[in-house]
A and B are shown apart, each in its own frame.
Chain A
């Protein structure tokens, strides 16, 4: 009775292949961590990366679908082996409930970006307004001196708009951390119930090291 079928968990063995990505088999992974809401936990998680001199590309903390449970979304560029070990170290922290990692095709992800441009330029060039709407940008603030647009999308999309706006005097740019939804996740509610039992079932207490290629226990 699997409550969840997430694609990779910290304790899971390598699914077939891996690789594929950029330099030395590195690729982008999104790590999703469910935690208690506790002061200092951000540091505890961050030092797991810095101890190994691994750069965090993006980090977001937010509430999760479960009241009182926090959700970290961390993006790094690494090999799957490194990511798996990192997740095990993360999951080992007392206040961490569970850590998952996913490749980009396993998640729905978005980042939000804001652009500040001079209002007079936009007013002069009709083209700019057209470009903005082509990119799905929405005006957040329009003032006499500047206008702020926002776009939610993937990295390429928000990057493209920078290039587009640069010739017209982009004053300020900022992009948020990535947030991601795991396609195959059924949410954390049932999982949490298991955690709360004093003697959790095998679904929570998995032991997933049978052999490299055979049975891969997901949760």
Chain B
């Protein structure tokens, strides 16, 4: 219980603590093993929850963990991919760094998908993998793989430890790198001998500077001034924002910025929930299945202000038809993102927590009623053609949209929504109501099917004060359903909502629209999900009738503990609007007839 209390405390940025660089007195001057040093590092970094799976090469760490049960809560997953997605969900819900333990060889290679996912979505993780004894490296020993080289392209930093004396400094570096600047995953591979090796422990010292690493710059005022000038002179300014606002903990700064400037703002899928979804200046979601107005009007604004986003191809569509008329201001903490896909007129390199207030100060208080009305007009068109039929369908079968709408009515937008990948993800992100930051947890950049169930487990630990609803398709759920075992054993409170259309729906939609309806291996069959859950002692039910939907959702939310609700939805429904691949954002279509 004590652990739970601690978790409930809001995330604080301990690294900013001025006393952080003072060595702590824990275990100072005594002899410890490498394994104990690893665990002490976790404790000193404020970690309470670890997701992991033991195995031969990480046994010394697990042995030491036996004595740390009071200080560290270890969640035994059913597959290492589950561990890393859970750590991602934890990080995204809590704003802290997620921690994963896995063994060498297959344990470590099972992390790769999650590392790639965390890398592209900038999720802070520290993964500790066991490795064979140092003297066996390169001998193709049992469960030896070259984890460092396998994971180099998908980690912000990685390092192999072969000597225990390195552990405190390396772990300190790992946590510092994972959580600072543009966050990302770090992997530390520790050979078994280093885990066992005893050494004189001088205590843990947090890292706050690496000479070759610059997490953020000193903000240069002249760029802020230039940007403010462009915004103040604009007639049709448009803000597009991504997860940078959430990662930078700059939600308030962002809100003040758009409110003072009267700036219409649209979010990327990763930026969703940085402002409440019903904010009057929030005009919706960008991207392939985003809202009509934000997509089309990207090509009509005169100043486009991009904040903490990276112009992913799913957001821009065809680049040579993207916002060519606009002057572009790009605020980002990662200088490699500025000018990468879209050339900025003014690039502001910096932490948006610092740059946004400076920019806001120079803004004139303004409103753009005519310009904002344009977004509303497009929304009216979209409502008529897409939203209304999706949320209030007249047919017999349920739509995904009406499930989300009903869920909104019951959660009132206060739940954490974890989604998998595919049609249900797009529908959930299009229609879910969110009042609080860090409400939308999804695999955005990598599009990892199977992400949602383990990520929801992590989210439930990351913010236990909120309801976590995992919305998953029938395909994705079958990719990681083994994590029901984790839920069974550790009882995190996860509401599992399966939207079953008996197809791999998004691929089917593309096959229908672009491959002459040649449905090639998308008609996936499913087990009785409710019976599967029952096998794991998790209650659940299936509904397919409209009049039972609300009660079923209420039952799920009210249930004491985890619950699985399978909702049968229309088999061949499509997600619209859509910016078809290879087209410009202005060519966003509202129905299949327009393609």
**Are the chains A and B members of one assembly?**
yes
Write the residues of chain A forming the contact surface with B, with a CB cutoff of 8 angstroms: 10-11, 13, 35-36, 39-40, 43-44, 47, 51, 84-85, 88-89, 91-92, 94-97, 192, 195-196, 198-202, 204-207, 209-212
Write the residues of chain B forming the contact surface with A, with a CB cutoff of 8 angstroms: 148-149, 152-153, 156-160, 177, 208-214, 217-220, 222-223, 226, 330, 334-336, 338-340, 343-350
Assess whether B223 is in contact with A207, with CB atoms less than 8 Å apart. yes
* Cβ contacts under 8 Å, A13 to chain B: 339
Assess whether A209 is in contact with B210, with CB atoms less than 8 Å apart. no
Assess whether B152 is in contact with A88, with CB atoms less than 8 Å apart. no
Complex CA gap A55/B336 in Å reads 21
* Cβ contacts under 8 Å, A88 to chain B: 335-336, 340
Assess whether B220 is in contact with A40, with CB atoms less than 8 Å apart. no
Given contacts A47-B153, A94-B156, contact A202 B220 (CB under 8 A): yes
CB within 8 A of B209: which of A10, A39, A85, A198?
A: A198
Interface CB pairs A-B, < 8 A, 23? A10-B335, A11-B349, A13-B339, A39-B160, A47-B153, A85-B336, A85-B339, A92-B335, A94-B210, A95-B157, A97-B212, A195-B212, A199-B218, A201-B218, A202-B220, A204-B214, A205-B214, A205-B218, A207-B349, A209-B223, A209-B344, A209-B346, A210-B226
Complex CA gap A19/B505 in Å reads 47
Most buried by A among B160, B177, B209, B330: B209
Assess whether A202 is in contact with B347, with CB atoms less than 8 Å apart. no
Name A's interface SS: loop
Assess whether A40 is in contact with B158, with CB atoms less than 8 Å apart. yes
Complex CA gap A54/B564 in Å reads 48
The 5 closest A-B pairs by CB, nearest first: A209-B347, A88-B336, A207-B220, A205-B217, A195-B211
Closest residue of chain B to A44, judged by CB?
B152
* Cβ contacts under 8 Å, B222 to chain A: 210
* Cβ contacts under 8 Å, A47 to chain B: 152-153
Assess whether B217 is in contact with A207, with CB atoms less than 8 Å apart. yes
Assess whether A35 is in contact with B153, with CB atoms less than 8 Å apart. no
* Cβ contacts under 8 Å, B210 to chain A: 94
Given contacts A43-B149, A85-B340, contact A198 B213 (CB under 8 A): no
Closest residue of chain B to A13, judged by CB?
B339
Complex CA gap A11/B226 in Å reads 18
Most buried by B among A202, A204, A207: A207
Complex CA gap A192/B339 in Å reads 27
* Cβ contacts under 8 Å, B220 to chain A: 202, 207
Assess whether B226 is in contact with A211, with CB atoms less than 8 Å apart. yes
CB within 8 A of B212: which of A10, A36, A39, A202?
A: A36
* Cβ contacts under 8 Å, B226 to chain A: 210-211
Closest residue of chain A to B336, judged by CB?
A88
Most buried by B among A44, A47, A84: A44
Complex CA gap A31/B152 in Å reads 21
Most buried by A among B156, B214, B223, B340: B214
* Cβ contacts under 8 Å, A204 to chain B: 214
Assess whether A89 is in contact with B223, with CB atoms less than 8 Å apart. no
* Cβ contacts under 8 Å, B335 to chain A: 10-11, 88, 91-92
* Cβ contacts under 8 Å, A51 to chain B: 153
CB within 8 A of B350: which of A10, A44, A200, A207?
A: A207
Closest residue of chain A to B327, judged by CB?
A211
Given contacts A36-B212, A200-B214, contact A92 B152 (CB under 8 A): no
Assess whether B212 is in contact with A94, with CB atoms less than 8 Å apart. yes
* Cβ contacts under 8 Å, B214 to chain A: 200, 204-205
Closest residue of chain A to B349, judged by CB?
A207
* Cβ contacts under 8 Å, B223 to chain A: 207, 209-210
Assess whether B336 is in contact with A92, with CB atoms less than 8 Å apart. yes
Complex CA gap A89/B336 in Å reads 6
Complex CA gap A211/B280 in Å reads 32
* Cβ contacts under 8 Å, A205 to chain B: 214, 217-218
Assess whether A196 is in contact with B156, with CB atoms less than 8 Å apart. no
Complex CA gap A202/B160 in Å reads 34
Complex CA gap A95/B152 in Å reads 13
Q: In the complex, how many angstroms separate the beta carbon of B319 from the nearest chain A beta carbon?
A: 13
Complex CA gap A210/B209 in Å reads 28
Given contacts A36-B212, A196-B211, contact A209 B158 (CB under 8 A): no
Complex CA gap A196/B213 in Å reads 10
CB within 8 A of B219: which of A44, A198, A201, A207?
A: A207
* Cβ contacts under 8 Å, B209 to chain A: 198
Complex CA gap A200/B209 in Å reads 11
Assess whether B348 is in contact with A209, with CB atoms less than 8 Å apart. yes
Q: In the complex, how many angstroms separate the beta carbon of B316 from the nearest chain A beta carbon?
A: 16
Closest residue of chain B to A96, judged by CB?
B212
Closest residue of chain A to B226, judged by CB?
A210
Complex CA gap A47/B148 in Å reads 13
Complex CA gap A35/B213 in Å reads 11
* Cβ contacts under 8 Å, A210 to chain B: 222-223, 226, 346-347
Complex CA gap A13/B344 in Å reads 11
Closest residue of chain B to A90, judged by CB?
B336
Given contacts A40-B148, A211-B346, contact A35 B217 (CB under 8 A): no
Closest residue of chain A to B347, judged by CB?
A209
CB within 8 A of A209: which of B153, B157, B349?
A: B349
Complex CA gap A85/B334 in Å reads 12
